[in-house]
Amino acid sequence: MSQSTNKIFQFWQELKRRKVFRVMAMYAATAFIIMEAGDIMLPRLGLPDWTVTFIIVLLIIGFPISVILAWIFDITPEGVKKTESIELARELEEPSVTVKRRLKVSDVIIGMLVVVVGILAYPKVFRNDKATEQVKSLAVLPFKNLSGNAEQVYFVEGMHDELISDLSGIQNLKVISRTSVMRYQDTKKSIPEIARELNVDVLIEGSVLRMGDKVRINAQLINGSTDVHLWAEHYDYQIQDAMSLISKVTRDIAAEINIVLTPKEKERLTNLQAVNPEAQEYYLMGRYYYYKLSLEGALKGREYFQKAIDADTNFAKAYVDLSNCYSMFTWYGEIPRNEASVIIYRLLNKAFQLDDQLAEAHQALATWKFYHEWDFPGAKTEFNKAIKLNPNLAGNSEYPLYLASMRRFEEAIPEAKRVLRLDPFSYLSNLVMALVYSLADRNNEAMEQYQKMLELGLVDSSNFYYNMEIHNVRMGMYDKAVKATKKYMALKGDSPDLIESLQQAWEKSGPEGYWLWKLDQLKGKYDKYPLIVARIYTQLGLKDKALDYLEIAWQKRERMLYMLYANPDWIPLREEARYQALIDKMGF
Residue 244 pLDDT: 82
| Helix, strand, coil percent content, the chain, rounded in steps of 5 | 70, 10, 25
Res 168 pLDDT > 70: yes
Give the residue with greater pLDDT, 195 vs 236.
Answer: 195
Q: Which of 410, 400, 407, 386 is nearest to 430 (CA)?
A: 400
How far CA 488 is from CA of 22, 234, 455, 491, in Å, comes to 79, 52, 17, 5
Residues whose CB falls within 8 Å of the CB of residue 547, separated by 6 or more in sequence, listed in order: 534, 573, 576, 578, 579, 582
Give the span between the Cα atoms of 534 and 563, in whole angstroms: 14
Average pLDDT over residues 546-557: 96
Taking the domain 278-503, which CATH number applies? 1.25.40.10
Average pLDDT over residues 391-419: 91
510: left (phi over 0), alpha (psi -120 to 50) or beta: left
Our measurement of the distance from residue 504's CA atom to the centroid of its chain's CA atoms, rounded to an integer in Å, reads: 50
Residue 326 pLDDT: 97
Residue 500 pLDDT: 96
Give the span between the Cα atoms of 156 and 147, in whole angstroms: 10
How far CA 256 is from CA of 266, 309, 385, in Å, comes to 15, 36, 29
Res 495 pLDDT > 70: yes
Neighbours of 556 (CB within 10 A): 13
Identify the sign of the CA torsion 132, 133, 134, 140: positive
Start-to-end CA span in the chain (Å):
94
The one-letter amino acid code at 356 reads D
Res 360 pLDDT > 50: yes
| Contact between residue 161 and residue 208 where contact means Cβ atoms under 8 Å apart | no
Domains 137-272 and 278-503 share a fold: no
Res 585 pLDDT > 90: yes
The per-residue pLDDT for range 17-72, each reduced to its tens digit, is 666 667 777 777 777 777 666 655 654 555 555 566 677 777 788 777 876 776 67
| Contact between residue 435 and residue 568 where contact means Cβ atoms under 8 Å apart | no
Residue 48 pLDDT: 54
DSSP calls for 156-169:
HHHHHHHHHHHHHT
Give the span between the Cα atoms of 283 and 306, in whole angstroms: 9
Record: fold of 137-272: Rossmann fold (3.40.50)
| Contact between residue 500 and residue 508 where contact means Cβ atoms under 8 Å apart | no
Residue 102 pLDDT: 43
Res 186 pLDDT > 70: yes
The one-letter amino acid code at 348 reads L
Res 252 pLDDT > 70: yes
Backbone φ and ψ of 149, nearest 5° = -95, 115
Identify the sign of the CA torsion 40, 46, 52, 54: negative
Q: pLDDT band at 139, cuts 50/70/90?
A: very high
Least confident range from 41-45, 99-103, 370-374, 561-565: namely: 99-103
Residue 238 pLDDT: 85
Res 153 pLDDT > 80: yes
| Contact between residue 465 and residue 487 where contact means Cβ atoms under 8 Å apart | yes
Residue 497 pLDDT: 95
Give the span between the Cα atoms of 320 and 515, in whole angstroms: 45
Q: Which of 370, 353, 352 is nearest to 361 (CA)?
A: 352
pLDDT above 70 coverage of the chain, percent? 81
Res 128 pLDDT > 90: no
Q: pLDDT band at 364, cuts 50/70/90?
A: very high
The per-residue pLDDT for range 199-238, each reduced to its tens digit, is 999 999 999 998 888 889 999 999 999 999 999 999 988 8
Domain ranges of the chain: 3-126, 137-272, 278-503, 522-588
**Residue 369: DSSP 8-state:** I
The one-letter amino acid code at 57 reads V
Least confident range from 90-104, 225-239, 367-381, 559-573: namely: 90-104
Average pLDDT over residues 471-484: 96
Residues whose CB falls within 8 Å of the CB of residue 449, separated by 6 or more in sequence, listed in order: 430, 433, 434, 437
As separate numbers, helices (DSSP H) first and strands (DSSP E) second, the chain gives 26, 8
| Contact between residue 149 and residue 236 where contact means Cβ atoms under 8 Å apart | no
Give the span between the Cα atoms of 143 and 202, in whole angstroms: 16
Residue 462 pLDDT: 95
| pTM, to two decimals | 0.77
How far CA 347 is from CA of 110, 304, 337, 363, 421, in Å, comes to 70, 15, 15, 14, 31
Give the span between the Cα atoms of 74 and 155, in whole angstroms: 57
Average pLDDT over residues 417-436: 95
Beta bridge partners of 214: 211, 238
Res 488 pLDDT > 80: yes
∠ CA 295-161-421 to the nearest 5 degrees? 90
Res 581 pLDDT > 70: yes
DSSP calls for 443-480:
HHHHHHHHHHHHHHTSS-HHHHHHHHHHHHHHTT-HHH
Mean pLDDT of the chain: 85
Q: pLDDT band at 401, cuts 50/70/90?
A: very high
Q: pLDDT band at 431, cuts 50/70/90?
A: very high
Average pLDDT over residues 392-421: 91
Residue 239 pLDDT: 80
Give the span between the Cα atoms of 77 and 97, in whole angstroms: 18
User: To 10 degrees, what angle do helices 427-439 and 461-474 make?
Assistant: 10
